[in-house]
Amino acid sequence: MSAWSAKRFWKQATASSCDGGFTVTLDGRAVKTPAKAPLVVPTLAMAEAIALEWDAQSGVIKPDTMPVTRAANSALDKVAPQFAEVAGLLAAYGETDLLCYRATAPQELIDRQAQGWDPVLAWAAQEYAAPLLVTAGVVHITQPEASTRALSQALHQLDPFRLAAAHDLIAISGSLVLALAVLRKNLTAAQAWQLSRIDEAWQNELWGVDEEAARLESYKQEALFAAERFFGLCG
């Protein structure tokens, strides 16, 4: 017996203003989140992007082709009800940030990491007064409390929609610093992606590209770019 799948039942998706922001209606019927909350978003641009995703559906609804809708749902259903907890979990990445743990060999990889990562750490030190320590190897290094606190505050100052975008930027890159650099437009998502994959690029040069791993990496890259776009739609 095949699983049930939702199918398109509407003729037109429309973005419009509503109490508290903007929403999307399907033939005049307001869209709700999976948790049955009203889909109210902060900007008309975001509502219009969501409406376009709904209008693009044909036959069976495919959520994986609706990144803005999914991000908005996540902001409302998952982030907003537990904002402090989500922000705290993401802030913890600053204590073990990817950019702070360097290779011990070979020298060419050490140099690539330094050339790519040192400028971003220097930016964070200036932007947030949050210098972070760097170590070689994987043994944990304790970061200055003032620095991790400053980076944490940067996340807690976001609203649920922006924090939802930050979540994917951080989780996919493995770096709070890279994510904040994208949010502050110091880096593009494409640049952050390349910087977060220095080690993987090195391995691919040595051993070649694994097709299955490449497909997974492509999916992650698309999700990272979608997070940058969603943040921009927040206004």
Domain containing 30 equals 1-62
Q: What is the pLDDT of residue 3?
A: 44
Q: Are 118 and 58 part of one and the same domain?
A: no
Confirm whether 17 is domain-assigned: yes
Q: What is the pLDDT of residue 6?
A: 80
Q: pLDDT band for 59, please (50, 70, 90 cuts).
A: confident
What CATH number does residue 141 fall under?
1.10.3580.10
**Average pLDDT for residues 44-49, to the nearest whole number?**
98
Q: How far apart are the first and last CA of the chain?
A: 45
What CATH number does residue 51 fall under?
3.30.2180.10
Q: What is the pLDDT of residue 2?
A: 41
Confirm whether 184 is domain-assigned: yes
Lowest mean pLDDT among 39-48, 166-175, 206-215: 206-215
List pLDDT tens digits, range 68-113: 999 999 999 999 999 999 999 999 999 999 999 999 999 999 999 9
Q: What is the pLDDT of residue 133?
A: 98
Q: Is the pLDDT of residue 182 over 60?
A: yes
Q: Are 222 and 143 part of one and the same domain?
A: yes
| Angle ∠(56,60,65) on CA atoms, nearest 5 | 45
| pTM of the model as a whole | 0.94
Positive or negative CA dihedral for 177, 179, 183, 189?
positive
Angle of helix 189-196 versus helix 160-173 axis, rounded to 10: 30
- The tally of domains found in the chain comes to 2
